[in-house]
Structure 1
Amino acid sequence: MTANSRRYHITTFGCQMNKADSERMAGILEGMGFEFTEDPNDANLVLYNTCTIRDNAEQKVYSYLGRQARRKHEQADLTLVVAGCVAQQEGEALLRRVPELDLVMGPQHANRLADLLEQVFAGNQVVATEPIHIMEDITKPRRDSQVSAWVNVIYGCNERCTYCVVPNVRGVEQSRSPEAIRNEIVELGRQGYKEVTLLGQNIDAYGRDLPGVTPEGRHLHTLTDLLRCVHDVPGIERIRFATSHPRYFTDRLIAACAELPKVCEHFHIPFQSGDNHILKAMARGYTHEKYRRIIHHIRQSMPHAGISADAIVGFPGETEAQFQNTLDLVDEIGFDLLNTAAYSPRPGTPAALWEQQLSDEVKADRLQRLNHLVSIKAAERSQRYLGRIEEVLVEEQNPKDATQMMGRTRGNRITFFAGASELKGQIVKVKITEARAFSLTGHLVEAKLPVSV
């Protein structure tokens, strides 16, 4: 492959962790002399960063792969890579299914992409799915945004939720050191980024694998301590974190979020089910009463906080009454956003083998009923914004209306307003005039630059 013909394309499926991994792999590829192309059919290297949380995401990967595999028969220098969770789960079985593949690599190997590709370019078909210690981030990611950046703080997951394949494919928890995380954020501040989101599959577990405890027996490094460690980084004006686990979510963390001005009042805390029997079958390790207490404490400290979550309907054995408990929790709490999914059996998970699997019709019906309630409650929650002046970090132009800019409130609501592109990257004040279920519209009341009328 000649240097001037090196073009790559990455398609990313799934969670924020995958998006962050893709940005790092893009940075590695550009360091190797590749140029990004939007069109996979124009690329010499096509990489699919895959997700195996639900079956439909996995099937979509195979559909995309089939197209590129056929293309490879006409274009011998095409390099095909499958990364991420499907790669980790399937391993060499992927090569049997798609023999045109050059590289199959699990998420723990993202930082090794250059080394693995050198083996491919030497004529080898490579599978990298063995557990390894994740190398410290030394690559410069090719970030999709110039305003907000993902920062991985902990990889892997030690939980054993009975429906979830993530621990099998992402490995055990490995926390990055506070110094390495802070150094990355300092560099982001220097580059002009205004917001960072600290990422972990189970971010509340941060630090428990790092050495050191306090005299009281508390881990020396926790998410709360990390927030304090990075809070004063110059240039960074907003800090977010995800994804939280109710089992480990503490009042100490809530107090720090209320106290630290840069930490946004936005919490993503999956509850999965509102029924204690289902939660126990899921091995989640908390009750719906504990979950409700967490939300109550957040709203006591930060009444206008944005709260989002994940929920699963149709878990094996879920009765109509147990599903109703989920509806009751959603109705009572009123989420700003809820990611919902019908249960999908995943290979290698206990729940996939259980009897009492529910029919697709029952799951679809429950999902539709839950989504209907979510929209109603989100629209109700949105009304609190009407007439308020919100701080909005301007991210980009509205792709559907060139006269508008768009950004997010501290509570993570997408907000549209009339304004010029020079406002990108600024925090501006917007008076909210229209509140929809999942987005807001307003007009600019304060900005450093003049805006077009």
Structure 2
Amino acid sequence: MDTTTTKQRYHITTFGCQMNKADSERMAGIIENMGFEWSEDPNNADLIVYNTCTIRDSAEQKVYSYLGKQAKRKHREPHLTLVIAGCLAQQEGEALLRRVPELDLVMGPQHANRLEDLLQQVYNGNQVVATESAHIAEDITTPRRDSTVTAWVNVIYGCNERCTYCVVPNVRGIEQSRTPEAIRAEIERLAKMGYKEITLLGQNIDAYGRDLPGTTPEGRHQHTLTDLLYFIHDVPGIERLRFATSHPRYFTERLIKACAELPKVCEHFHIPFQSGDNEILKLMSRGYTHQKYRRIIDTIRRYVPDATISGDAIAAFPGETEEQFNNTLKLMTDIVFDHTNTAAYSPRPGTPAALWDNQLSEEVKSDRLQQLNHLVSIQAEMRNQRYLHRVEEVLVEDQNPKTPTQVMGRTRGNRLTFFRGDINELKGKLVQVKITEARAFSLTGESVEVRQVLAV
């Protein structure tokens, strides 16, 4: 189908994690290469992609609701092309076509780079399902990135862990690391385009490189996340590096030391703990104890005393007793996190824990989640108070949508910060900001000095 003459429009709706956001940017790049232009309103789009998540049931239900509306529209406008991508597509596969026959393409996350070929098959009159296991080809498409200041860079796809509650390994496949050279080349391209901050992404980023060949003379694996940080650190024009998501089982002192030594690596560590109870951690197949988790945090605070530390917690895992839940609250109280992402346990298809007969009631889930969230906001506010009257370096990303006279950006510790300024002048700049107000989830300040960052 030649879209160049008609300038057809497309829309992508993204659910879920940072990996999904990165995949959506790559798919948007492919679609724009095909001659489509972006439409803010899905109802004006000729091609709609839902990039889905299956971590929680609520995200799935939202997808089905959106799909239902567009499926009805397709009866009125048969030219509309409907694509469902991502983890729900991988999990459900052909069953989605039975549930929503109006779909044209069902595509798992490993096939994001093949989108053009798959759409071509659709335009040739086929209904396509692409969920078979695939080697992820090195991506040469330029993503359509949502930001011009910060960018995601995938370093490892998939996950080999088998946490009993998690559907990710089933839907994103086995671990596949990109080569350090390919990653550095992408970051160099981004630097030339004026990007200032890179977040390295992996479902289990600390596992980076263990599927790549090579060991050092001492017998250590040659390609680790730590080695990668040293390898890419000196790319000119890049001011900041971040990485996510970590797994406590693989988080090493060597990695923490590198973060302390390398000036571009931000002082922000996101390490999910999920539970503070050893018995629950064992049932989850997490492979560590709460004592090991605490030692990791102690080591971080020894090397990087002012580090921002965030985590993930699951409330009401099957069989969790009141005492076991209190152990999670205790872990959080002892560590005092800057932020914690919380969720009530949600049974996912194809995971062991979904089949257990000791599921907790919705009331217990709701109550425990509420208790977690209450503690999260108290801790976030408490930790943010330490920034009051301090001068923090903020990378300006955008205008404050609520207050156009203000710009917004993030500190090195990943705290969202607002201050008065002109976005046209400050976008992409590093600004020293004196913090005048600290709330639980954001800061406000006034600029002290702007550091010019030259584009390469």
2:392 aligned residue: 390
- Compute the displacement of 1:216 (Å): 2.4
Matched-pair contact (CA < 8 Å) for 2:396–2:431: yes
Give the stretch that moved more between structures: 433-442 or 112-121: 433-442
Unmatched 5+ residue regions in structure 2? none
Cα distance in 1 for residues equivalent to 2:275 and 2:11: 38
Matched-pair contact (CA < 8 Å) for 2:388–2:435: yes
Residue in structure 1 matching 2:440, options 415, 437, 442: 437
Matched-pair contact (CA < 8 Å) for 1:208–1:222: yes
Structure 2 vs 1, CA of residues 155 and 448 (structure 1 numbering), >3 Å: closer, same or farther? Answer: closer
The count of aligned residue pairs is: 449
2:250 counterpart SS class: coil
- Compute the displacement of 1:155 (Å): 0.1
1:192 aligned residue: 194
Matched-pair contact (CA < 8 Å) for 2:149–2:197: yes
Cα distance in 1 for residues equivalent to 2:219 and 2:132: 34
TM-score of the superposition, structure 1-length normalised? Answer: 0.98
Cα distance in 2 for residues equivalent to 1:320 and 1:217: 45
- Compute the displacement of 1:448 (Å): 5.0
Aligned pairs (5 A) from 1:287-436: 287-421=289-423, 422-436=425-439
Q: How far does the alpha carbon of each residue in 1:321-363 deviate from its partner, in whole angstroms, 9 at most, with x for none? A: 0000000111111111111000000000000000110000000
| 2:212 alignment partner AA | L
Q: How far does the alpha carbon of each residue in 1:255-283 deviate from its partner, in whole angstroms, 9 at most, with x for none? A: 00000000000011000000000000000
Matched-pair contact (CA < 8 Å) for 1:13–1:50: yes
Cα distance in 2 for residues equivalent to 1:370 and 1:76: 47
TM-score of the superposition, structure 2-length normalised? Answer: 0.98
RMSD: 0.8
Cα distance in 1 for residues equivalent to 2:378 and 2:144: 38
Q: Are 2:27 and 1:25 equivalent residues in the alignment? A: yes
1:124 aligned residue: 126
Matched-pair contact (CA < 8 Å) for 1:5–1:44: no
Matched-pair contact (CA < 8 Å) for 2:430–2:451: no
Residue in structure 1 matching 2:273, options 271, 274, 281: 271
| 1:258 alignment partner AA | A
- Compute the displacement of 1:438 (Å): 1.2
| 1:439 alignment partner AA | S
Cα distance in 2 for residues equivalent to 1:55 and 1:264: 33
Cα distance in 1 for residues equivalent to 2:445 and 2:451: 17
1:136 aligned residue: 138
Cα distance in 1 for residues equivalent to 2:227 and 2:129: 38
Q: Are 2:58 and 1:56 equivalent residues in the alignment? A: yes
Give the stretch that moved more between structures: 311-320 or 214-223: 214-223
1:247 counterpart SS class: helix
Matched-pair contact (CA < 8 Å) for 2:415–2:442: yes
Matched-pair contact (CA < 8 Å) for 1:89–1:169: yes
Matched-pair contact (CA < 8 Å) for 1:336–1:438: no
Cα distance in 2 for residues equivalent to 1:5 and 1:394: 33
Moved over 3 A (4+): none
Give the stretch that moved more between structures: 371-380 or 171-180: 371-380
Cα distance in 2 for residues equivalent to 1:363 and 1:319: 12
Unmatched 5+ residue regions in structure 1? none
2:244 aligned residue: 242
